[in-house]
Structure 1
Amino acid sequence: MKALVHAEIAGINGLAYQEMEERIPKAEEVRVLLKTAGLNHRDLFTIDQNHKPSDPPIIIGSDGAGIIDAVGDGVENVKVGDEVIINPSLGWREKSDAPPQGFGIIGLPTHGTFAEKIIVPAENVVHKPEYLSWEEAGVLSLAALTAYRALFTRGKISPEMKVLIPGIGSGVATFLLQFAKAVGATVYVTSRSKIKCEKALELGADLAINSEEDWDKALNGEKVDLVIECVGAATFNKSLKQLRSGGTIVTFGASAGDVVQLNIREFFYGQYNLFGSTMGSGEEYSEMLQFIEKHQIKPIVDQMYPLEQYEQAFSRLEKAQQLGKIGFTIR
């Protein structure tokens, strides 16, 4: 089968679209004939930092959707021919304060979704929501699950809250906006891009702020109850400044720097709550799917590329040109 494989050289130069051996699923496993897959910042980190040149070659990619074409012994939740999406969260079944020992993500350490076929545990596939297209289903899981846990499990969002989402261009951020508005919250977003700000307003944002502006002035001194910080060091302290006393900030992204200087005295006088968040459990994945089906929420698909045109897709993501999710068509 054809697959996008990383080996020997760090970064995009270590990627090759090549033949890889096709396997047969073992007990409690299924094989998915992939139709679409989603590109994430995690894939950039994998090839730049996490997958070492000395490591064995690996098929990258965490998001995908397709059709079951083989099942191992003991599989009961799906059958050959079923249309499914893949939950990339491995070894984390029940909702908990933190992932259990052994938690992993498809695409590293296991082979990922940028391939014609993938074998995954049967518990990691669920039937594709009928209202989603293949393009939408293929880019959904990682970003939507990350957004759901950050906003609901960690952020405890409620309808009366005011929520700030810096950096509205990413796939996770567009889910955060749609989820928060579905709940009934007031949502403010930021971006350096006028186009992204305009799109956010179309999606329901109550205010879109140019990231270069004075955020406090743009909000007329108004403070928010909850900040979901997915940018990193570049915006963290600006985000914290907009939080009300006793408010909550949830962080899970560091694409714009991972080291922050924090004024501890201001933090404890402000009685702030700070939570980290990463991906989510199988239980939260099920909750997320029920939520998006109830509200008919769809991923914002930025652009789809044939898998063999991966260089263009990675370049668009690296330059932060996307609004929403970048994906691949495989079949």
Structure 2
Amino acid sequence: MSAMVTTGVGDFDRLVLSSVPKPTAGPGEVLVQVLAAGVNNTDINTRLGWYSAAVSTATNDSSAEIEDLDADRSDGGWNGATPFPLIQGADCCGRVIAVGEGVDQTIVGARVLIRPCMPLNPGDSSATEWLGSDRDGAFAQFTVVRSRDVFPVQSTWSDAELATIPCAYGTAENMVSRAGITAGTRVLVPGASGGVGSAVVQLAKRRGAYVIGIASSAKRERVIEIGADEVLERGQDPVAQIGTGSIDVVIDNVGGNGFGSMLALLRHGGTYVTSGAIAGPIVQLDLRTLYLGDLRLMGCTAWDEHVFADVVSYVERGEIRPLLERTYPLSEIAAAQRDFLEKRHVGNVVLLPPTPGP
């Protein structure tokens, strides 16, 4: 089969379009034909080794500290060293074409979304592996996963639209759920036009929250369209715009220099939630702000068991919408990832693998 293989830590030259053996489904597994694969920060971060403690830059910074990383660093990936060579791709919309021993045959032919955050033990989120980072993923014509990680989906959306959902919306729903957002909660979303940010806007709004996004002026109307009640202009001081103590929950995948302002915006007893740091992982924290404000800081990576099934149900009931900016052939992954990193879009870009021959 045709696959985009990441050969190690590095730049786009580490992405090599290759002919590799087609995988087969073992016991408890399914073979999925990949119909469309979304592009995500995590795919790029894994290739760059950005998860290493040696890196302190933003995710789109090609500085020397990333370029000089050893390919075999033990902390470069989600769960330690990334197992290169690797087929990346955390987002998959596909079709089940074969099953292994012990799997119900009736799932063959179903269009599915693959849960990218995969619990190693059913119902236990304390140990997970990630599609495309810990095991081969969706940047190929076929992929194999455990049957419990495929979720049939009934929807009129296109394959490419469905491929925008798994990683971004699962990550967003996990944060929204853990933060306990309900009707009337005042939620601030930095990076509201990005893949996760735009998902947070929709998912918080479907729970009845009052949502304030932060985005560039060029993207303001699009963020309003997907459900934000207000949009603050990126680059301006949010404290000056809406005042201290005005927010119940901040859901922030941006980080960087704006971290202190996010805490200042929280009411007494408020909650700050994060699962990313695209503007940089190293932040300045005044512990007095934390303890005097009785604030709660929450990191979210592993998904609670109900999260992905909930997201699929929202798709099927039309309670969220896909934000597909553009599609690319799998062979043009470098152009797709450059487009993604430029952040000129709202939502996501998607790769389409070649159709398998007879």
Above 0.5 in TM-score? Answer: yes
User: Is residue 180 from structure 1 mapped to residue 208 from structure 2 by the alignment?
Assistant: no
Is the contact made by 2:255 and 2:278 (CA closer than 8 Å) also made in structure 1?
A: yes
- Which residue of structure 2 lines up, in the alignment, with residue 321 of structure 1? 344
- Which residue of structure 2 lines up, in the alignment, with residue 76 of structure 1? 104
Question: Within 1, Cα distance between the matches of 2:214 and 2:207?
Answer: 20
CA deviations 1:31-51 (Å, max 9, x no partner) are: 111110111000011110069
**Equivalences for residues 178-327 of structure 1 within 5 A:** 178-191=202-215, 193-219=216-242, 223-327=246-350
Question: Within 2, Cα distance between the matches of 1:232 and 1:94?
Answer: 32
CA deviations 1:172-229 (Å, max 9, x no partner) are: 11111011111111110112x2222221112221111112112123225560111001
User: Is residue 151 from structure 1 mapped to residue 151 from structure 2 by the alignment?
Assistant: no
Question: Within 1, Cα distance between the matches of 2:253 and 2:327?
Answer: 23
CA shift for structure 1 position 324: 0.6
Is the contact made by 2:263 and 2:289 (CA closer than 8 Å) also made in structure 1?
A: no
Q: In structure 2, do the counterparts of structure 1 residues 227 and 8 end up closer, same or farther at CA, with 3 Å as the change threshold? A: closer
Is the contact made by 2:248 and 2:266 (CA closer than 8 Å) also made in structure 1?
A: yes
Residue identity matched to 1:105: W
Secondary structure, counterpart of 2:228 in structure 1: coil
Q: In structure 2, do the counterparts of structure 1 residues 82 and 239 end up closer, same or farther at CA, with 3 Å as the change threshold? A: same
Is the contact made by 1:168 and 1:196 (CA closer than 8 Å) also made in structure 2?
A: no
- Which residue of structure 2 lines up, in the alignment, with residue 108 of structure 1? 133
Q: In structure 2, do the counterparts of structure 1 residues 33 and 292 end up closer, same or farther at CA, with 3 Å as the change threshold? A: closer
Residue identity matched to 2:241: A
Quote the sequence identity (%). 29
Question: Within 1, Cα distance between the matches of 2:147 and 2:239?
Answer: 48
Residue identity matched to 1:32: V
Question: Within 2, Cα distance between the matches of 1:263 and 1:89?
Answer: 33
- Which residue of structure 2 lines up, in the alignment, with residue 32 of structure 1? 32
Residue identity matched to 1:67: R
Question: Within 2, Cα distance between the matches of 1:177 and 1:77?
Answer: 38
Aligned partner (choices 57, 63, 86) of residue 58 of structure 1 = 86
**Equivalences for residues 114-129 of structure 1 within 5 A:** 114-129=139-154
Is the contact made by 1:77 and 1:122 (CA closer than 8 Å) also made in structure 2?
A: no
Question: Within 1, Cα distance between the matches of 2:232 and 2:88?
Answer: 35
217-226 vs 261-270, which moves further: 217-226
Is the contact made by 1:11 and 1:44 (CA closer than 8 Å) also made in structure 2?
A: no
Is the contact made by 1:95 and 1:280 (CA closer than 8 Å) also made in structure 2?
A: no
Question: Within 2, Cα distance between the matches of 1:225 and 1:95?
Answer: 30
Question: Within 2, Cα distance between the matches of 1:94 and 1:56?
Answer: 26
Residue identity matched to 2:16: A
233-242 vs 85-94, which moves further: 85-94
Question: Within 2, Cα distance between the matches of 1:225 and 1:202?
Answer: 23
Is the contact made by 1:226 and 1:247 (CA closer than 8 Å) also made in structure 2?
A: yes
- Which residue of structure 2 lines up, in the alignment, with residue 3 of structure 1? 3
CA shift for structure 1 position 291: 3.4
Q: In structure 2, do the counterparts of structure 1 residues 161 and 199 end up closer, same or farther at CA, with 3 Å as the change threshold? A: same
CA shift for structure 1 position 299: 2.2
Question: Within 2, Cα distance between the matches of 1:252 and 1:77?
Answer: 36
Is the contact made by 2:8 and 2:47 (CA closer than 8 Å) also made in structure 1?
A: no
CA shift for structure 1 position 72: 0.5
Structure 1: state its 5+ residue gaps.
none
Q: In structure 2, do the counterparts of structure 1 residues 238 and 48 end up closer, same or farther at CA, with 3 Å as the change threshold? A: same
50-59 vs 208-217, which moves further: 50-59
Residue identity matched to 1:257: G
Is the contact made by 2:328 and 2:336 (CA closer than 8 Å) also made in structure 1?
A: yes
After superposing on structure 2, the runs of 4+ consecutive aligned residues of structure 1 that deviate more than 3 Å are: 50-56, 92-96, 291-295
Question: Within 2, Cα distance between the matches of 1:157 and 1:293?
Answer: 22
Q: In structure 2, do the counterparts of structure 1 residues 292 and 67 end up closer, same or farther at CA, with 3 Å as the change threshold? A: closer
CA shift for structure 1 position 292: 3.9
CA deviations 1:76-121 (Å, max 9, x no partner) are: 275321111111122256667xx323x1101122111000000111
Is the contact made by 1:26 and 1:72 (CA closer than 8 Å) also made in structure 2?
A: yes
User: Is residue 169 from structure 1 mapped to residue 197 from structure 2 by the alignment?
Assistant: no
Secondary structure, counterpart of 1:63 in structure 2: coil
**What is the number of equivalent residue pairs in this alignment?**
326
Aligned CA-pair RMSD: 2.0
CA shift for structure 1 position 294: 3.5
Is the contact made by 1:92 and 1:280 (CA closer than 8 Å) also made in structure 2?
A: no
CA shift for structure 1 position 322: 2.7
Secondary structure, counterpart of 1:209 in structure 2: strand
Is the contact made by 2:97 and 2:109 (CA closer than 8 Å) also made in structure 1?
A: yes
